[in-house]
Amino acid sequence: MQGLFRFLLRLVLVAVGLVFAATLLVALAGLVALWGARSLWARVTGRPVAPFVMRVDPRGGFSRVVRGAQAGPRSGIGDITDVEAKERL
């Protein structure tokens, strides 16, 4: 009985893997078709074919933090005037 259960479990896992792979393949085919249609439309209309570009500036996160620090304290934090440390027991 255990052998049958293991076989069925493996069969289900293989089926799930195949469905996942097929889903990825269909999604990739859809993206390729979309890219091809976009390229074809650009050629038909006489525009240059521009690639998909994801512009990421690695300095953006740092700049955002620096701008936030220069803006001053957030509301509520500026109300704290003095803090005394407690002694450890």
Q: What is the pLDDT along the chain (89 residues), one digit of tens a residue?
A: 899 999 999 999 999 999 999 999 999 999 999 999 999 999 999 998 877 777 777 777 788 777 776 666 555 566 667 778 888 87
Residue 55 lies in a domain: no
**How many separate domains does the chain show?**
1
Instruction: Tell me the two tokens of residue 19.
Output: 């469905």
Q: What's the predicted TM-score (pTM) here?
A: 0.51
- From residue 32, alpha-carbon distances to 4, 25, 28, 29, 61 in Å are 42, 10, 6, 5, 32
Could you list the residue range(s) of the whole structural domain that residue 29 is in?
1-49
Residue 65 lies in a domain: no
Residue 39 lies in a domain: yes
Distance from C-alpha of 49 to C-alpha of 35, rounded to nearest angstrom: 10
